[in-house]
């Protein structure tokens, strides 16, 4: 069966959330505005996540998975998903369900005119420290990338697959997806989406990798921007 839209769900030790993820995705599929499949990317989980993923995929034909041998981080999990997807569009949502899959329909409304649509989390339900560190990190990234995005860390995005596959991923680059689409001369847009508190599991990002890691990654991005190869084929035989 041909799907036009594949939602990637990276998973690292989220066993407490996965049954909720299954329920939320199945609810979304009832109203999805595109023919949609689901791809779990198990990022070397050490809890019961992988077994739960396999069980979910057995129960539901629309769910599939790939599993990384070792934990390699969010950027690696997304890269593995980008490489595996064959549909025209790729979506991404975190398995903590702090954003709603139903909001993919809001993003899909604009995808014909843009190469990447990202959510902007309004009325965020995180702690003061997490909110402030995210604001600082976004300010730093925006100053370096000039991408105009207010919330590049929002885990709800849709990208045209051909653009996603051309992103030269490195560790930490998940924070720069809009900027990497701009390097390909693509168009990007942000759309307000819902945000919810985390009700189970533990966050994988702290103050150190929310601010200091992205700061050093900004210099890597600037190097890549100077060296990035971009071309368009004019004619072929």
- At 36 the three-state DSSP class reads strand
- Encode pLDDT of 7-60 as tens digits: 999 999 999 999 999 999 999 999 999 999 999 999 999 999 999 999 999 999
DSSP character at residue 233: -
CA separation, residue 50 to residues 70, 113, 200 (Å): 12, 37, 17
Domains and CATH numbers, the chain: 5-227 (3.90.550.10)
pLDDT for 46 equals 96
The pTM score is 0.86
pLDDT for 223 equals 84
Task: Read off the pLDDT band of 203 (50, 70, 90).
Answer: low
pLDDT for 155 equals 87
């Amino acid at each position: 069966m041909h799907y036009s839209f594949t939602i990637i769900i990276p998973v690292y030790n989220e066993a407490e959330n996965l049954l909720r993820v299954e329920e939320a995705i199945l609810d979304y599929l009832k109203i999805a505005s595109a023919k949609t499949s689901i791809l779990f990317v198990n990022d070397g989980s050490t809890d019961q996540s992988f077994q739960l993923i396999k069980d979910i995929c057995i129960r539901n034909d629309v769910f599939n998975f790939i599993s990384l041998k070792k934990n390699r981080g969010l950027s690696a999990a997304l890269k593995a998903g980008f490489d595996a997807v064959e549909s025209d569009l790729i979506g991404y949502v975190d398995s903590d369900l702090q954003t709603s899959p139903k909001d993919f329909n809001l993003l899909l409304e604009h995808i014909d005119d843009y190469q990447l649509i990202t959510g902007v989390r309004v009325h965020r339900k995180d702690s003061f420290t997490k909110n402030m560190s995210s604001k600082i990190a976004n300010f730093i990234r925006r100053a370096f990338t000039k991408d105009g995005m207010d919330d590049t860390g929002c885990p709800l995005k849709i990208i045209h697959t051909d653009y996603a596959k051309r992103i030269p991923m490195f560790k930490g680059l998940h924070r720069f997806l809009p900027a990497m689409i701009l390097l390909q001369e693509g168009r990007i847009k942000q759309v307000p989406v819902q945000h919810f508190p985390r009700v189970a599991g533990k966050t994988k990002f702290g103050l150190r990798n929310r601010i200091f890691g992205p700061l050093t990654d900004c210099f890597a991005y600037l190097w890549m921007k100077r060296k990035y190869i971009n071309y368009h084929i004019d004619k072929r035989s």
